[in-house]
Every structure is written in C-alpha cells, then in structure tokens.
Structure 1
Amino acid sequence: MIANALGPIFLLILFGALLRRVNFPGTEFWPGIERLTYYIAFPALLVHRLALADFSNADFGRFALVICSALLLISVLTWIIKPWVSSNAADFTSLFQGAIRFNTYIGLAVASALFGDDGLVIAAIAVSIMIPLVNVLSVICFSLAIDGPLKSPAQVLSGMLTNPLIDACLLGVALNLSGLGLAGAWIETLLATLGSTALPLGLLAVGVALSLDTVRQDWSIILSSSVLKFIVFPGLMLALAIWWQLDLLSRQVLLLLACLPTATSAYILSRQLGGNAPMMANIISAQTLLAFVVMPLWLSIV
C-alpha cells in the first residue's frame, strides 16, 4: 500500500527531470509554473482542506500538544546543530525544511489506505494543526537565516502574514470556525479543482530542478536532514504520544505523519525566499525514495 502511494510521486519527479533533459517546453516556462503553484494552487488546496476539516474530535487538545511540542523540539534541535552541519544560510534552510516539512498528500492517502475512515479523520485533524505551524516555522527560518538575526519581530511577523501559505491556513481555519465554510458548491469545486493541480505541478517543478551532480555534492546535508526527518522526528512524536497516553490508532497516524518525506511545497518556498532550491529538490527526491523503507519500519513498532 505504501509503495502504491509513493510510487507515482517519485515517477512524477522523474518525469519532470525527463522534461528538463529534453528541454520541453523550455526553461522559461517553469518559473511561471512555480509562481502559479506557490501563489494559487497550494493556497487553494489549503483553504479547501482546512475550511472543511472536522475539528470536533475530543482529543484535539492532546493532538495539538503532542504535534506542537514535537515540531518545536525538532526545530530547536536543528538550530542547535547548525554550526556542525551547515555554515551556509541557504543550505541550512533546505536542511531545516527537510527536517520538519511533510507531504500531506502522501500522508492522507496512506492513512486512508492503512487505517480506513477513522484513520483519515484523525490524520485530517492532525494535518490541520501541522500545516500552519510548519509554514510559520519555515518562514521564520528563512527570515533569520537568509536575512540575518537582526530582523525586528515586526519584520518577521510581516513576512509571515504576507506568506500565501500562512494566509491560506488562517483563512481556511477562520472559515471553518466561523461556520461559513466555503459558502456554496461552486466555490468548493473551484478551490478543489485549483488545489488538485498543486501536487502534479509541484512535483514536475521539483524534477525539472533535479541535478545528479548536486545530489553527489550535497550528500551530507541530505543525510543530516534524513536522519532528523526519519529517525529523530518520528521518535519524538511517538514518545510524546505515548507520554500523553493517546490511543493506538492516534499513535499510528501521528507516527505516519512524522515519518513522511518532505513536502514539494518546500522547493517552491525555497525558490521564492532565496534558499538553495536545487538542494531542496534533491532532499525531496531522496526522502521520497527513503520513505519506502522507513515508513513500514516505524509503523511496525506500534
């Protein structure tokens, strides 16, 4: 089941690499696609998903505590080890995103396939918590690492509030909690249709930026981010879930979300905010492949 979920993702990345190899439809085509994905398709997907999410689960408070604690701990740890793993600011942003971001599409698909409707509901609730916090932490990382630590809190806040992914999360949650929802089938269908383009376009853009030479050069960052993503972060999530006595299904779903490969949106964010986008593309590709092995191993533990 996991192979069936991850296989098409990796094939789309390889297809993007093939398009780059044959130079179709041309190098000038892809920057516009990246902007369309970043400013339109991904925000539409987030608004649609969060506006329709079910926040009535009784364990929402404990979910939020476990998820937020795990994300904050892995973020702090990544900053602590920065001097030993990366001296370059742009490279560090790729390492950071590789450690905390997750592929929502794979997560929801695998949760549904492995755990049925109950698992899918839990995953949707958890994702609605993780997406805003991950985007906030990522934007803060870019603000501090790329622009320097002297940026004022007001400037950091401004950078977060003008980020389309964060704005989309805030709008989606506001529509959900206000009871307005998406106010009509036309709007819901429009957002669902726009959002459905985010995955293929984002993956193709990743493949276009893929460079085998860069993969060989960046092996240390890829290894460091993968250790954080596939060993440290899932371990933190599982330990906190056990500590707060979440039920078995909740532990399984949260562990699944913690050991997902990095999201394709990390590449788009890296391109837009001045990170090392080719390195980010290689981290995404490597982690997508590694996830074939890591996810079944972690899930077998619980």
Structure 2
Amino acid sequence: MHSLALLLPDFSLILLGAVLRRRLVDNEAFWAGVEKLVYFVLFPALLFNALATANIDPAHALPLFLGGLGVVIVGFLAGWLGRGLMGLDAMGFASRLQCAYRFNTYIGIAIAGKLHAAAGVALMGGLCGAMVPFVNVMAVGMLARHGQGSLLRELSRNPLVLATLSGLVFNLLGLELPAPMVAFLKRLGDAAVALGLLAVGAALRWGNIGGRWTGSAWLVGVKLLLLPAIAWQLGRALGLTGMTFDILVLFAALPTASSAYILAMRMGGDGPGVAWLISATTVLAVPTLSLWLMLL
C-alpha cells in the first residue's frame, strides 16, 4: 500500500494530462509545444544541474552504469526473440522493438526523487542520461536499416545526451555554478517533472494496434517484468546496495518513453503500434512498479 501511495502523485499527473488532453485542451499544437519545451529546455536543465552539482563516486557509478547497460542489452535481445510472435514486417518490428528497452526518464526522475531526494534525482538522471546514447544507437540503427534517417545526426542533436555530457564534464573539471544559476536551473527542473508527466498523459493513445496480440504482450512483459528481475540479479552480482541498487531496479521497471513514438514517426515507422505499447506500459506500470517498490 505504501508503494502505491508513493506512485500516486506522479501517476495522478499522468492521468490529469490524459483528462486535460481529451476534455479541456485538445489542441495538438499546444501539447506538441509542451513536449518540445520539456524535451529541449526543461529536462536538459534538470539533468545538467543534477549532474553538475552531484557528488559522483566512480566506485558506485561504474557498477551502476554497467548494470544499466546490461539491462538495455537484455531488453533488446529479449524483444528480438519475440519477433516470430508479432506478425509484422521488418519496419513494423524495428519500430516496436524499441519499446522493450527504452525508458521514461520523466517517471524515473520523479520516483527517484520521492525515494532518495536530490541524490536519487542525480543518480537516476545520470543513469538515464548515460543510457540514452545506447538506446538511440539501437533504435535508430534498426530503423535506419529499414527506413530513413541518420544515426549520427540523431545522436549529435539529442538534448538529453548533450546535457548529460555537459553536466559530467562540468562536474569532473571541478567547476561550480553560481548560486543564482543553480536556483534558475532548479526552477526549470521542477517544471520539467510536472510538465513532463502531464505530457506523458496527453500522449496516451488507444487504437488499432495491428500485428498479433501475443507479440505486444511479449514486449510489455519484457519491459515491466523481465528487465526488473534481470536488474535485481545484475545489481546483486555487481555488488550494488542501498540507493544504487534501488535506482537500477527502478530504471529497469520504467515504462517505455514517448520518444519511441517520435522516433518511429520521424523515421517512417509504425507510429500507431508504438503509441499503443507506450500507453499500455505506462498504465500497467502502476501495479508493476508498485510491486517492485514493495520488494525493494
């Protein structure tokens, strides 16, 4: 019950975003603007501030990074094993495969902050930011094989990658942000979480999924059940404890990111099928995340 109560405020924002999109503000351009604001300005500010001001311990950060990378790779391979269940062409499969390993950073940051305050935000932000290049390489690489688009271009202009690298470099150089700048970035970061979760809710889509239900169920199961279990074992094997162990398991248990839909549409893929999977993993993450939080 406590774990569900922990998730309730954040998933209530997602629900509110869905209600607002359908009942009050149904303007597509408005929500597209909100997503752009969060993705290109607010969330990069949050990541940069968290990493630039964090106390980064390489002894803890490296095993966490290796665990996160292992989770992403297992998600890719497990999703690939379900190809025969999906009944899709190559482009449709490439579009949906990313739903097995991509993660919703907004939800991750929100939950990490509830569990471990600013230290949790920095650790989850660093892990998510470090994994963004890898998931983009996998997703863009697969889609580029069957569609259109450039892997290097996608990576070089990704604001989360740029913010993560900038924050880490700033931190490792021992630089310090002026107090007014820290306050400014913190306010942007506070807005990022709330608006990001509202945008997640507004982006929920239910329609004709296409393909076979067995394939969709496989991808949802991989993302919400298999990967957290793998993360649990990886975390123990790597000697992670306390906050770092919590962050790794929660990272693996996150629903699929809405950026999977944006990428699929941008590269000529199966947008509706990806949108359905994002919606399904987001809704089903309420009970599954509650389960993993309870176990933690």
TM-score, normalised to structure 1's length? Answer: 0.78
Residues 219 and 34 of structure 1: CA distance in aligned 2, closer, same or farther (over 3 Å): farther
Who is 1:137 aligned against? 134
Alpha-carbon distance, 1:299 to partner: 4.8
Report if aligned partners of 2:209, 2:276 keep a CA contact under 8 Å in 1: yes
Distance in structure 2 (CA, Å) of the matches to 1:189 and 1:279 = 41
Matched position secondary structure for 2:138: helix
In the alignment, is residue 161 of structure 1 matched against residue 156 of structure 2?
Answer: yes
Structure 1: gaps of 5 or more residues: none
Residues 1:204 and 2:198 aligned together: yes
Matches within 5 A, 1:75-86: 75-82=76-83, 84-85=85-86, 86=88
Q: Does 1:125 align with 2:126?
A: no
Is the 1:266–1:280 contact (alpha carbons within 8 Å) kept by the matching residues of 2?
yes
Shift of 1:249: 5.7
**Are residues 172 and 268 of structure 1, via their aligned partners in 2, closer, same or farther at CA, if it must alter by over 3 Å?**
farther
Q: Provide closer, same or farther for how the CA distance between residues 163 and 250 of structure 1 changes in structure 2, counting only shifts above 3 A.
A: closer
Q: Which residue of 2 aligns with 1:176?
A: 171
- In the alignment, structure 2 segments of 5+ residues that lack a partner are none
* Structure-2 change in CA distance of 1:222 and 1:14 (3 Å): farther
Match of 2:56 in 1: 55
Q: Which residue of 1 aligns with 2:289?
A: 295
User: How far is the alpha carbon of 1:123 from its aligned partner?
Assistant: 6.8
Task: Name the Cα RMSD after superposition.
Answer: 3.5
The alignment-based identity, stated in percent, is: 33
Report deviation, 1:189: 2.1
Residue of structure 2 equivalent to 1:213 = 207
1:93 is aligned to 95
Task: Tell me what 2:31 maps to.
Answer: 30
Q: Which deviates the most, 230-239 or 188-197? A: 188-197
**Residue aligned with 2:59, SS:** coil
In structure 1, how many angstroms separate the alpha carbons of the residues matched to 2:23 and 2:294?
42
2:72 aligns with: 71
Cα distance change, pair 26–173 in 1 and its aligned pair in 2 (3 A): same
Whether the 8 Å CA contact 1:41–1:195 is kept in 2: the answer is yes
- Number of residue equivalences: 294
Distance of 1:194 and 1:174 partners within structure 2: 21
